[in-house]
Every structure is written in C-alpha cells, then in structure tokens.
Structure 1
Amino acid sequence: MIKDLFTKKKKYATIPSEQNRQDVPEGIMSKCPNCKKIMYTKELIKNLRVCMNCDYHYSMTAFERVESLLDEGTFSEIDKDMISENPLGFPDYLEKLAKDREKTGLNEAVLTGEGKIDGHPVVIAIMDSTFRMASMGSAVGEKIARAVEHAMELKVPFIVFTASGGARMQEGVLSLMQMAKISAVLKKFSNEGLLYISIMTHPTTGGVTASFASVGDYNFAEPGALIGFAGRRIIEQTIREDLPEDFQTAEFLLKHGQLDSVIHRAEMRETLSNILEIHRPGGKLEC
C-alpha cells in the first residue's frame, strides 16, 4: 500500500518530455514579469495587456494603442514613409533598422496620424518601444514635429504617448536636436491656444523626458511607468546617496507634483474623452 502511494506521487511529479513541451505553441501563454502568474496571451491582449492578477501594465504596440483608443475606422496615418538615414555612417545601422521594420510593421519608432476619440478629432503620436526601444532619431523627431504642425493646421488637440530609451546614439547630435525642434513647435502650438496632452508609458527616459514629454497641458502616466532622465545608478553615484525604492516611477512623480494623474489603461480612453469634451469649442473650458 505504501509502495503504491509513492508510485502515484512519482507519476504526478514526472517532468514533461522535450517533445511535450514543443507541442505547446510558442506565445500561447504569457508570464507576468511582476507577479509571475501565467495566463493565456489571448486573454491578456483582451485585457489591454494588463495582468489580471496584479495590474502590471505590459508594453503595447502603437497599433494596439490605436485600436484601444480611437474610434473604429477613423485613424489615418501621416508621414508613413519617412525613415532614418545613416548620416554618421554607423556600422550596421541601416540593417538593424530594416530588421525592426520587418519585425514591427512600422517604418520608424513612432506612429503619427489623425483620428477621433468618441467623435472628438485629434492628432496623435504613439512611440513604440519594440522599434529600437523607441529611441529618438531624426525621423522620429521630424514625424512628431510635423504631427504637431498638422494638429495646428486642423486646430485640434495633440496627444502623444511616449516611450523611449533616449536619443538614438547612431545619429549623434542630429538626434539631440529633436528635443529643441519639437519643443519649439509645441510652443507655437501653445501660443495658438490649442490643447496638448502627454501620456508617459514604460519606459520614458532620456531626452524625451527632458523635452516634449514633460510640457503638456496635461501630463499623465500609466501605473508603474519608469520616467526619468539619467539612470538610477548614475544619479546615486553622482550625489553619493541612496534613492527611494520607488524613485522615477509614475507614482513617485505624481507624489512630487510632476504629473497630473496616473491613469489605469482601462480608464485611458474615457479620461481622454472627458478632457476633450471639456476643451472642445463651445465646451466647458476652451484652451
């Protein structure tokens, strides 16, 4: 009897063979990097890529954000064919860009266009971290600047979803110039009395944080987003002090007055719709 009991336990403790593992299609399951819970990828996508157990916000592609935010069939992309060159002759740079284009379906790290949110017309720019970690090169900066100008021509609000690892080193100072260029056109946009909404997602770092991501009429972020300029280790080594555990998180920035709100992804569309309604011509508050 005792022998049978141990035999049964051994049966249930058997490690699946390599063949059985291969029978499970790749990508059918996802493991949350925060709580380690395993869930069906299909269910995760339905939940806007937010963990059903701990509310961890996964990264979204630019196309997924368009689908989750804009009225169906209203999005029209602009400057689709604009791509980066290799002004510094950086080794293998163009080849890496080509691989990212094939992988993401994007020509650059930002998707720009016009559309509607609950009937409210907007121009939107969405940075995509799956393309070169959404680093800001010349084409990214030019596309965002042109999107702002397009919103200015249409006299509609401009919304940006930021995500970035910083300026794109392969383009040197031409990449850094985009910080000033976008900020300058946003100043013109503001002088026209138009609405600019900035939503920072994980991660928003480097020159993007230090320029256009932080100067919205409304500055929002998704829960848990990493937001900052220099890295934590660099800051600690410079000031020779330990930083708080939640330093550079969206919640830390909100607590210290650098954000207006931290918004759950499931509430983002409704929040933006309400703000657009308040600021619409003839609404409760015009810019």
Structure 2
Amino acid sequence: MSAVPTVTLNNAVRIPQLGFGTFQIPPDETREATLAALETGYRHIDTAEMYGNEKEVGQAVRESGLDRADVFVTSKLDNGAHARDDALKAFDTTMAELGLDHLDLFLIHWPLPGRGDFVETWKALEEIYRSGRTKAIGVSNFQPHHLRRLLESSDVVPAVNQIEVHPYLTQDEVRAFGAEHDIATEAWSPIAQGKVLDDPTINRIADRVGKSAAQVTLRWHIQRGDIVFPKSVTKKRVEENFDLFDFELTDGDIGEISALNRNERTGPDPDRFHG
C-alpha cells in the first residue's frame, strides 16, 4: 500500500489526509477498533468528548507501540462547554481522558449561535493553542457566515472546518470559502452513512476501476482535497478503507460523482441545530 498523503495546515502542521473516525463506536469497542486501525497503517484518529470514547482512543494510541509524534489525534469541545472557563475545563478533561501529553487538533464541535457566543469559545481555544497543549485548533460544522464572524473577531484562523461532505452533499460553497481563507476541509459522513454505496454512477465507476463503491467515494474525497476519516469496526472494512492509493479517478469520474449533489444531509443543519 502506498503512503497516506498529508495536508499542510495553515500553521505548517501536517495532517494525514486519511484517518480513522470513532463516531458512534461504543467505548467498549473503541480501543480494539482503534488498535486495528493503527495496525493497518492509519496515523490519524478522530474522536470527540461527545462520543464518550476519548479514554479508549488514548489507550489504543499509548498501547500501539507507535511514537506519539507519529499519530495525529483530534478531539472536539462538547456543546455544553462554550463559555470560556467551561471550555478550558473541558479541554483539561479531554486531555485527562486521553492520557496524552498533547493534542494535535482541537475543534469547536458545533457553532450553536443560539446558546452562546462562539467567538468567546474560539478565544478560549486560542488560549489553549498558545499554551502549546494542542498543535492546531479549528472548528466543525461552521458555515461561511460563522467563519466570517470568527475571522473578523479573532487572531488565529481556524486550521480546519470539519463538515458533513459526501457525493449527495458536496458543500462547494463552504469548501470554496475554506480554500479562499486557507482553512482545510475535513469531511465527516464521507459515504453518507452508506447511502451512496448503492448509487448506479458510483458503482459503474467502481466496476471499471476494480474497487468498491466505498473506495471510489473515499478516493473522490482524496482527489478533491478533503481530509477524510471513515469509521468501521470491521477489520476487513477498516483495511479496505485504507486501500485508496493504488488507483486514480479521472477528471470525468470526479465530475460525474460531484454532479450527484442534491444537498441531502444525514446529520443536522448547522443553522438549525441548537445542541
């Protein structure tokens, strides 16, 4: 298998473009699943306080035998901790759960403008960033209007914006805004919770290149520049999702898959979600 490419963030930190997601993996399965991913070759693990499995992710990273510098770990601030002091305490809790000496990326999980001022929250993350306890900070589920407020009101440009992206929700506007401001796009729900796997267009391309529909969809993300972290607890699927670097899609393939967009979400609309 070829090496996973990295994306250089706006502060020169490098993140593997393919990672392993832990959303909806029960805590009692997380350690084993994360260890299997690390054994497969993944070097980027995505978790969150909200997932309830930070402790098990940390255990897997520590028990993997890998150098800490070789594993990129992301976590996210829970929705109930947007006030400055709460955010700082929540980060301390995250680090205690993970049992790691630093984090690679820490995100505001949702903007939640109806529950508080996410600019205040961001300033707390800036404090954490300046302390050196996380190598980069970013946001998740932010729309361009949320990002504009942040950029106007703060010093540190988010390194990433983690948003729902897949062939049925291509998010061209949000991705373009990110590219314009040097904010990398991370794609959660990259196969639309499996909805795109029966798509005739994707399956036709998969048949031609001799890959699965999931591999073709993940390769579409990679070639568009998205950072992805598919989730699975099945070893065979974990390995399959990693095997993306021995084939390429044509520009025509990319265009056909992108044309499947129908602005269909599998998760909440950030403008309507209040936590």
Relative to the length of structure 2, the TM-score reads: 0.34
Q: Name the structure, 1 or 2, with higher relative contact order (CA <8 Å, separation 6+).
A: 2
Relative to the length of structure 1, the TM-score reads: 0.33
